[in-house]
Amino acid sequence: MNQIQDILRTMEYGPAPEEDAHVRAWLKRHGGRFGHFIGGRFTRPDGKTFKVFNPSTGEEIGEVAEGTEKDVDKAVKAAASAFAKWSALSGNERARHLYALARSVQKHARFLAVLETIDNGKPIRETRDLDIPLVARHFYHHAGWAELRDEQFPGYVPAGVCGQIIPWNFPLLMLAWKVAPALAAGCTVVLKPAEHTPLSALAFAEICNEAGLPAGVFNIVNGGGETGAAMVAHPGFSKIAFTGSTEVGRIIRKQTAGTGKKLSLELGGKSPFIVFADADLDAAVEGVVDAIWFNQGEVCCAGSRALVQEGVAERFYGKLRERMEKLRVGDPLDKSTDIGAVVAPVQIRSITAKVEAGVREGASLFQPSWAKELSGRPGCFFPPSLFTNVSPASPLAQEEIFGPVLAAMTFRTPGEAVQLANNSRYGLAASIWSQNLDTAFDTARRVKAGVVWINSTNLFDGAVGFGGYKESGFGREGGREGMHEYLTPAWLKKAKPARVAPPLEAPLPAEEGLPGSAPRALDRTVKLYIDGKQARPDSGYSYPVFDHSGKAVTEAGFGNRKDIRNAVEAARKTEGWSGMTGHARAQVLYFLAENLELRGDEFAARLRQATGASPAQAKKEVAASVARVMYYAAWADKYDGAVRGPQPRMLSLALPEPFEVIGISCPDEAPLLSFLSLALPAIAMGNRVVATPSPRQPLAACDLYQVLDTSDVPGGVVNIVTGDRDQLASVMAKHDDIAAHWYFGSAEGSAMVERESAGNLKSTWVNNGKARDWHDPTEGQGEEFLFKANRIKSIWTPFGV
């Protein structure tokens, strides 16, 4: 039988390979050897190198220099010397450069797609239709931000020289996500691509030269973990951006603690893919294909945990199994391939081990009938896999597999779906499938995830922020919120060290009467304020509080870890506050301002006593405090987020959501004003706070207990624990139920908070021991505070009939 007749019988697709000759020629031009890209030039790859393989064939395709501390240092110097000129360019001039990069990426689109496929193993369909177009899109979008930076972010300046470390799963796209906003903000960059996949970044470096990007603005140092560690340790960076595993993210958090470097982390995930009974099940099946069988499942936001409503679960699984039979695993350069090669043998081993453990554990595994034929083939191939009857406690449901493996379980009610969805340390993304708008939206609001796709999955756009909640990291990439990661308030660059009082002494009874302590009126010991009630410190200890002249005034509770625990519990259960409308919260805050003003004289007297301020100064601080409360009452119903239209018939919401429980360590300066300046934006945005006032001058804050009571601030919204700042801050930083921690104290305390926050990767905001003028509206209030009091949730909402 001849070929045509044979095909007419089988009706198979046949091979459809993408041409790779141009990429081969490019590799040959470089002799297969690549150095770093520093100051606009490639270095010679002498010294230590590592090899790069095509994971679909095992073929060696290149050898790349491995960066040393010295290389990193050279690159940082190149970036630092380019910074002055680059950051001083006008917005329009920088925009022209970014626009040129976008155009150049488009001009070389197919070359980059083929190169990425050969280096990473992902199918050409994805690099051609998704990765590379999104890279261009990201540069176009950020050309706009370069143009608009000064107008849209007045008072902000570029962060400085940025160190960026990217993963191997979307090599060029992750480069774009990091580099485009940095350059738009006016920063210069040293980038470390992943050692499995360095080639497209090197090609991009050539494109930078071709597009006329000034030398030193963009630099590359290649290498693995050691090179990465050298980057993170380098003091020349003002900002570190990392995308990768939670494990490494944690190390970087600790390593950068106290250095003053800005940090954004985009880490792992175990994102729920929630299928309600009223979903379009066939659509949801394709959603799974795009969720977990996209990019071999090597996607941090992959919908790897299917939660399916019990009544439709078997039907849904049946459809999934049928669909899996039709997936095609194989040569990533073939245009009919759905699932290409996993990035490297080590990754195959890791996936295999996790799948085998799942089978041993008793979950039922389904792989397509043809799966067996993959084993024994050269190249890193893994079949699409579906686990059903997975229990929420199973490692299959808890741990990231980073392969084409879906773990499915059922739920009964929408509430249970949300509970299961949030039953994870991660909080990167969620995909929700329901034809009922109420169900879908309610779930979207309640899942703890930075990105939510309704009836869709794995959609990305330069205008829409991407980033996680919880241990999936912090910071956003894309959109206005992403620009904040590369900007810093101008005044902060010149801030002076704060005067920080030494830690409190151990609360032992004084050997002699304290100066000025007797004779006294009726003894008054100030208690803590937890859950709307005054509470004695758990320790049973108090410490003396002195006035400005050193006379003992009274005693305050010496709070300890259990007081913090109780305060967090109170804050945790006061969920109603976060659910209130902004208007309702504003009403409470206006009432608070009213009552504070009513007792203004009392507070002024307290400030004079505590700080020795003149009557006029004290009055001024009280007036500023009342004004600040009103300022955030004003914002309470206005910080609404944004709506974007990244695709036709798509609304993407950038929704600011509170962290829920924020720990706040207040500074010594302006004890009333600084306390309110921090607590107010937090609660105005719907957070509940656990705050420690200035240890030496806690009384102004303690006097607020009664004001809070009389102002209808619900108990548990503001919890105040007096005591030693750093002792209490350490407890808060280590508390896993606190999602964000603001610390204003010493440089050492700042370092400690950042270091300890690595436990649950809470979002931190520390002063690094720098002073802030709380009276100055530029420093003491404004968008910076509101931005820090929220995390942006991006909700993608397609519609159409």
Partner 1 sequence: MNVKTDPARMADARPATEKGLVPVHSPIRRNEGMALDPALFEAMDVNLSAAERRAATLTTRRSVKKAWQAAWLVRAIECIDLTTLAGDDTPGRVERLCAKARHPLRDDLVEALGLSGHRLHTGAVCVYPAMVPTAVKALKGSGIPVASVATGFPAGLTPLPQRLAEIRYAVGEGAAEIDIVVTRAHVLTGNWPALYDEVRQMREACGEAHLKTILATGELKTLTNVYKASMVAMMAGADFIKTSTGMEAVNATLPVSLVMVRAIRAYLEATGYRIGFKPAGGIRAAKDALAWLILMKEELGRDWMEPDLFRLGASSLLGDIERQIEHFVTGRYSSADRHGMG
In angstroms, the CA 246 to CA 267 distance is 5
Closer CB to partner 1, 74 or 122, in the complex: 122
In angstroms, the CA 10 to CA 230 distance is 56
CB 286 → partner 1: shortest distance, Å? Answer: 5
Burial 653-668 (b: 16+ CB within 10 A, else e): bbbbbbbbbbbbbbbb
CB 443 → partner 1: shortest distance, Å? Answer: 16
What residues pair up with 318 in beta bridges, in sequence order?
none
Beta strands in 435-527 (DSSP E): 451-454, 469-470, 473-474, 487-489, 525-526
Q: Which helix (H) or strand (E) holds 611?
A: helix 600-611
Q: In what order do the strands lie in the sheet with 49-53?
A: 33-34, 60-65, 49-53
Our answer to whether residue 300 is catalytic in this structure is: yes
Are 356 and 320 in contact, with CB atoms under 8 Å apart? no
CB 338 → partner 1: shortest distance, Å? Answer: 6
Closer CB to partner 1, 338 or 563, in the complex: 338
In angstroms, the CA 784 to CA 797 distance is 28
CB 752 → partner 1: shortest distance, Å? Answer: 49
Closer CB to partner 1, 123 or 641, in the complex: 123
Catalytic residue among 162, 300, 380, 702: 300
In angstroms, the CA 648 to CA 276 distance is 25
Helix 109-120 with 199-210: angle, nearest 10 deg: 160
In angstroms, the CA 482 to CA 493 distance is 20
In angstroms, the CA 286 to CA 319 distance is 10
Closer CB to partner 1, 329 or 589, in the complex: 329
In angstroms, the CA 612 to CA 604 distance is 11
**Of how many residues is the chain composed?**
801
CB 378 → partner 1: shortest distance, Å? Answer: 9
In angstroms, the CA 443 to CA 429 distance is 12
In angstroms, the CA 234 to CA 312 distance is 54
Angle among Cα 241, 127, 396 to the nearest 5 degrees reads 65
406: three-class secondary structure by DSSP: strand
CB 331 → partner 1: shortest distance, Å? Answer: 4
Are 559 and 537 in contact, with CB atoms under 8 Å apart? yes
CB 680 → partner 1: shortest distance, Å? Answer: 41
Closer CB to partner 1, 308 or 530, in the complex: 308
The token pair that represents 246 in the structure block: 């939670």
Q: In what order do the strands lie in the sheet with 718-720?
A: 533-535, 528-530, 718-720, 688-692, 661-665, 740-743, 763-766
Closer CB to partner 1, 376 or 509, in the complex: 376
H-helix segments, 331-455: 345-361, 395-398, 414-421, 437-446
Quickly count: other Cβ atoms within 10 Å of residue 731's Cβ.
Answer: 25
Closer CB to partner 1, 436 or 525, in the complex: 436
In angstroms, the CA 279 to CA 734 distance is 41
Nearest to 462 by CA among 448, 481, 484, 449: 481
CB 435 → partner 1: shortest distance, Å? Answer: 4
The token pair that represents 91 in the structure block: 């917005």
Catalytic residue among 266, 621, 779, 784: 266
User: Which residues of the chain form contacts with partner 1 (CB under 8 A)?
Assistant: 2-5, 7-16, 20, 54, 56-57, 59, 118, 125, 129, 278, 280, 282-284, 286-287, 290, 325-331, 333-338, 369-370, 373-374, 377, 379, 381, 435, 455-456, 649-650, 798-801
**Residue 569: left (phi > 0), alpha (psi -120 to 50), or beta?**
alpha
| Measured CA distances, 395 to 214, 215, 270, 447, 761 (Å) | 48, 47, 11, 21, 20
CB 56 → partner 1: shortest distance, Å? Answer: 7
Closer CB to partner 1, 104 or 117, in the complex: 117
298 backbone dihedrals φ, ψ, rounded to 5°:
-90, 65
CB 27 → partner 1: shortest distance, Å? Answer: 11
258 backbone dihedrals φ, ψ, rounded to 5°:
80, 0
CB 19 → partner 1: shortest distance, Å? Answer: 10
What residues pair up with 470 in beta bridges, in sequence order?
426
Are 595 and 706 in contact, with CB atoms under 8 Å apart? no
Closer CB to partner 1, 135 or 185, in the complex: 135
CB 406 → partner 1: shortest distance, Å? Answer: 18
CA 397 centroid distance within chain: 22
Beta strands in 318-381 (DSSP E): 364-366
Closer CB to partner 1, 550 or 648, in the complex: 648
Tell me whether strands 49-53 and 790-798 are parallel, antiparallel or unpaired. unpaired
Our answer to whether residue 266 is catalytic in this structure is: yes
Closer CB to partner 1, 278 or 361, in the complex: 278
Closer CB to partner 1, 458 or 697, in the complex: 458
H-helix segments, 612-746: 615-635, 671-684, 699-702, 704-710, 725-733
CB 322 → partner 1: shortest distance, Å? Answer: 9
Q: Which residues are catalytic?
A: 266, 300
